[in-house]
Amino acid sequence: MGMTLPKFLRHLLLLDERRCPLCLEPFVPSGKAGQPFCPECLKGLTEAQGPCCEGCGRLLQSPSAYCGTCLQSPPPWLALRRIGPYRRLLRGAVLRGKFHGDIALLTALGMLLGSLIQARPFPKAPEAIVPIPLHPARLRERGFNQSLEISRGIAKTLGLPPAPALLERIRNTPSQRTLKRAGRMANLKDAFLSRPEARGKHILLIDDVMTTGSTLRIAADTLLNAGAASVSVAVLARD
Ligand SMILES: [Zn+2]
Ligand SMILES: [Zn+2]
């Protein structure tokens, strides 16, 4: 089919495929194949690189595995990867994806996160990508689960399909935003249920933004209590 298309039409289709999902400008991909963003947006999204905590993704002054907080209270996961701090262009992109339902942008951000994971692999290669689930009532309200859309992008890059069925949200918890840390943990207790298929698997858990990490902690603990071999975490941004 592609062979029969006139050359100019194929050219147009190719350009259209490579429209940057963030600035919406067409661009000619250079360097790494499968990079969804134009060079300017890519630069903006990944501007704050440098040493960061293996446990929570916070930027560190000097290279070391963990920040002081994670040394004191280690997270249940092996390691965390993120695109960057939750600010500027990355923050704007996450907000647009999540609150304006820009699914293509969420998937593209997932692909970028996937390429960063490839560049800096987890200690254990993930066997299943599990998005933080939304409660069915919240899902109906929003129409999509942002973590699942991000997972689809990561899955494209890593060649590993998302397995959203491994973790379920069984309690519709009030919004976390207004609660302090202790309140968040209590609020989330028994919020998740892990499926038996998680047993023995190295799981990659996905969320959009890590703030206090309470949701990720409870979800990771639920998977580990159900017999998961290990949990690693990837989020778009670290607040
Ligand atoms: Zn762009
Ligand atoms: Zn840390």
Residue 25 dihedral angles phi and psi, to the nearest 5°: -90, 145
Neighbours of ion ligand 1 (CB under 5 A): 20, 22-23, 38, 41
CATH fold for the domain made of 37-238: Rossmann fold (3.40.50)
Total-model pTM: 0.87
| Cα of 21 from ligand 1 centre, angstroms | 7
* Average pLDDT of the residues of the chain: 88
Residue 13 confidence (pLDDT) above 80 = no
pLDDT tens profile 19-69: 899 999 988 877 656 689 999 999 999 987 788 999 999 988 887 789 999
pLDDT number for residue 45:
96
CA angle, residues 199, 233, 97, in degrees to nearest 5: 120
* Ligand number with the minimum distance to the CA of 71: 2
pLDDT number for residue 61:
84
Position of tokens 């704050």?
Answer: 48
CA angle, residues 115, 121, 125, in degrees to nearest 5: 110
* Ligand number with the minimum distance to the CA of 108: 1
| Cα of 233 from ligand 2 centre, angstroms | 13
* Ligand number with the minimum distance to the CA of 35: 1
Helices (H), 131-193: 136-142, 146-158, 181-188
pLDDT tens profile 157-186: 999 989 999 999 988 776 656 666 666 666
| Cα of 18 from ligand 1 centre, angstroms | 10
- Average pLDDT of span 129-158: 95
pLDDT number for residue 134:
92
What distance in Å separates the CA atoms of residue 168 and residue 164, rounded to the nearest whole number?
8
| Cα of 40 from ligand 1 centre, angstroms | 6
Tell me which residue of 208, 207, 121 sits closest to 157, measured CA to CA.
121
| Cα of 50 from ligand 2 centre, angstroms | 14
* Ligand number with the minimum distance to the CA of 77: 2
pLDDT number for residue 27:
87
Confidence band of 2 (pLDDT split at 50, 70, 90) = very low
* Ligand number with the minimum distance to the CA of 80: 2
pLDDT tens profile 83-99: 999 999 999 999 999 99
* Ligand number with the minimum distance to the CA of 233: 2
Long-range contacts of 6-15 (CB under 8 A, 24+ apart): none
pLDDT number for residue 190:
80
| Cα of 175 from ligand 1 centre, angstroms | 32
- Average pLDDT of span 178-195: 75
| Cα of 177 from ligand 1 centre, angstroms | 30
